[in-house]
């Protein structure tokens, strides 16, 4: 019955979605039709605009070719119920549309404007700025406001309700199906829909900066909270809270979720030619200009992450200031609770009419399957370990930490569940129980058959031994691993760690 109800729930999502494309870009037209067909969105919910194909446009172009035509279409198709207000300005009193999918070809951002009629600029780093992402301006399309300077408060921030149950009729949840190539966008659509059927399974990687200067501590706190959310949900997580980002060559296997900061452009494992996310992956790197362009597969972060196989990402087109970017702890929490990508994104965002964009299918629910009741036998064989850990966590998360870990270790060893075993060992390492962590990492290393998984565990296990003031055991472990690493990208990391340990222990080179 729950499966049937979940299928019926798709219909209101499709019925409350419009798809906006650029009539001047043939590929945009075709992609809009493809997305509508895949999501069973009615053809009369496709809206073509004759606008610039440039990523950056003027405020005049935005008003003339995007905002004003869309307002007229929303009124003429009776998606909005509009009536004059006391100040003779139109007011949206009811809406049947909640989601807007902007298709590649629609401009990305609006450059600053001077002397905009009716705008009231004020002093300060926020109130005097009127550049914005096209997406964020469209979220408040129904305000009919000439006030373009500064930000607008998001009434949906921190909500825990589906947008269909949200009373404010003005807010539109705007995402864009956009990436460096049209083929990539098509793949994002296909991956999102396919992933929903069985859930997003794989390992998460969280890369903190360990930096509290200049008011940035909040970013690290978001990421630390995300780690706790993954532990509670039984999603294996590798957490690096050192200042450097995950280095090039790091063995990042089966990556389903990535959150990190703070580098200006794509680097580390993501710069490797053979790196690829699992289908349906969500990947976000905090940076002021992470989505300054989506057309270059090597520029900034959002475009490259999508080109590497992610189905969705989050970014900024201009400087947003950290506190006014999506609060990633809220974003991740809402995803794990089965909300759509668009709902999760806008629940996490404090302000609108600002700099954020959300690249991905707005209706994508990577964890919708977690809301369904299914027998253990229904899980595909290749997701068995991931699902087993999630099911275990759901049933046991209320237990005290020590008891949870003890039971989890017993279950992982009994089932030969390598990701679960590694994750519990990393929890012990985070808690400072280095002796137990080293022992259980040793078991996880012996459990794995994939070379890159083994080398990743070696890096953690050697670090645990080094922190126990036993560099000799760490060196033995690293040298043994190097003997079997061959041409693995991680070999350079093993050698670097070996050199550092040898220097600090003053050992004579072998």
Domain boundaries, the chain: 2-178+342-361, 183-324, 375-505
CB 138 within 8 A of CB 70: yes
CATH of domain 375-505: 1.25.40.10
pLDDT at 243: 85
Task: Measure Cα distances from 10 to 98, 187, 360, 419, 452 in Å.
Answer: 13, 20, 17, 33, 39
Global pTM reads: 0.94
112 Cβ neighbours under 8 A, 6+ residues apart? 129, 130, 131
Residue 88 has pLDDT above 90, yes or no: no
Mean pLDDT to the nearest integer, 201-226: 87
What average pLDDT does the chain have?
Answer: 93
Considering 80-84, 155-159, 505-509, the range whose residues carry the highest mean pLDDT is: 155-159
pLDDT at 214: 66
The helix (run of H) or strand (run of E) holding residue 194 is: helix 182-198
pLDDT at 382: 67
Percent of the chain scoring above 70 in pLDDT: 93
Tell me how far apart the alpha carbons of residues 363 and 188 are, in angstroms, rounded to a whole number. 12
Residue 54 has pLDDT above 60, yes or no: yes
Task: Output the six-digit token pair for 202.
Answer: 């794989």
CB 440 within 8 A of CB 428: yes
Q: How many CA atoms are closer than 13 Å to the CA of 45, on its beta-carbon side? A: 22
Residue 18 has pLDDT above 60, yes or no: yes
For the stretch 162-167, contacts whose Cβ atoms lie closer than 8 Å and that sit 24 or more positions apart, written own/partner, are 162/339, 162/343, 163/16, 163/98, 163/99, 163/342, 163/343, 163/346, 164/12, 164/16, 164/98
Mean pLDDT to the nearest integer, 477-502: 93
Q: How many CA atoms are closer than 13 Å to the CA of 433, on its beta-carbon side? A: 14
Percent of the chain scoring above 90 in pLDDT: 86
pLDDT at 216: 80
The residue whose two tokens read 């940035």 is 216
Which range (27-31, 168-172, 189-193, 367-371) has the least confidence? 367-371
What angle (nearest 5°) sits at the alpha carbon of residue 126, between those of residues 320 and 176?
Answer: 40
pLDDT at 291: 97
pLDDT at 376: 42
pLDDT digits (tens, 9 = 90+) for 100-155: 999 999 999 999 999 999 999 999 999 999 999 999 999 999 999 999 999 999 99
Confidence of residue 5 (pLDDT cuts 50, 70, 90): very low
pLDDT digits (tens, 9 = 90+) for 226-279: 999 999 999 999 999 888 899 999 999 999 999 999 888 999 999 999 999 999
Mean pLDDT to the nearest integer, 450-458: 96
Residue 373 has pLDDT above 60, yes or no: no
Confidence of residue 84 (pLDDT cuts 50, 70, 90): confident
Tell me how far apart the alpha carbons of residues 402 and 487 are, in angstroms, rounded to a whole number. 39
pLDDT digits (tens, 9 = 90+) for 302-342: 999 999 999 999 999 999 999 999 999 999 999 999 999 99
């Amino acid at each position: 019955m729950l499966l049937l109800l979940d299928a019926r729930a798709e219909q209101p999502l499709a019925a409350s979605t419009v798809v906006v494309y650029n009539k001047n870009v043939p590929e945009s037209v075709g992609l809009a039709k493809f997305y509508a067909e895949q999501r069973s969105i009615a053809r009369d919910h496709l809206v073509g605009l004759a606008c610039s194909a440039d990523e950056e446009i003027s405020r005049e172009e935005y008003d003339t070719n995007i905002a004003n035509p869309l307002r007229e279409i929303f009124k003429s198709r009776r998606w909005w119920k509009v009536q004059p207000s006391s100040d003779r300005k139109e007011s949206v009193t009811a809406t049947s549309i909640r989601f807007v999918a902007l298709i590649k070809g629609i401009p990305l951002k609006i450059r600053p404007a001077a002397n905009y009629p009716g705008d009231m600029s004020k002093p300060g780093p926020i109130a005097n700025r009127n550049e914005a992402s096209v997406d964020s301006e469209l979220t408040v399309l129904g305000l009919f406001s000439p006030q373009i300077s500064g930000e607008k408060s998001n009434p949906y921030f921190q909500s825990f309700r589906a947008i269909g149950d949200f009373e404010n009729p003005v807010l539109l949840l705007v995402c864009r199906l956009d990436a460096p190539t049209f083929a990539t966008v098509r793949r994002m659509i296909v991956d999102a829909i396919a992933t929903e059927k069985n859930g997003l399974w794989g390992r998460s990687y969280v890369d903190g900066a360990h930096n509290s200067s200049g008011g940035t501590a909040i970013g690290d706190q978001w990421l630390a909270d995300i780690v706790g959310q993954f532990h509670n949900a039984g999603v294996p997580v590798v957490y690096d809270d050192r200042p450097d980002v995950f280095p090039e060559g790091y063995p990042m296997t089966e990556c389903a979720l990535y959150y990190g900061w703070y580098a200006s452009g794509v680097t580390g494992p993501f710069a490797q030619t053979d790196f690829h996310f699992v289908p349906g992956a969500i990947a976000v790197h905090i940076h002021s200009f992470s989505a300054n362009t989506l057309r270059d597969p090597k520029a900034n972060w959002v475009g490259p992450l999508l080109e590497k196989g992610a189905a969705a990402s989050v970014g900024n087109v201009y400087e947003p200031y950290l506190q006014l970017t999506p609060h990633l702890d809220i974003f991740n929490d809402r995803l794990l609770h089965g909300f759509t990508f668009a709902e999760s994104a806008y629940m996490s965002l404090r302000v609108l009419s600002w700099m954020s964009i959300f690249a991905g299918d707005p209706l994508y629910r990577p964890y919708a399957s977690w809301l369904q009741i299914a027998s253990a036998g229904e899980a595909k064989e290749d997701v068995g370990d991931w699902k087993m850990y999630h099911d275990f966590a759901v049933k046991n998360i209320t237990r005290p930490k020590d008891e949870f870990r003890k039971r989890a270790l017993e279950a992982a060893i009994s089932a030969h569940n390598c990701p679960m075993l590694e994750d519990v060992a990393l929890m012990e390492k985070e808690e400072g129980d280095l002796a137990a962590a080293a022992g259980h990492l040793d078991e996880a290393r012996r459990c794995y058959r994939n070379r890159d998984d083994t080398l990743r565990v070696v890096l953690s296990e050697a670090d645990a031994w080094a922190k126990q003031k036993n560099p000799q055991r760490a060196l033995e472990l690293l040298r043994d691993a190097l003997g079997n690493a061959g041409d693995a990208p991680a070999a350079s990391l093993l050698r670097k760690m070996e050199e550092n340990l040898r220097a600090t222990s003053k050992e004579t080179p072998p």
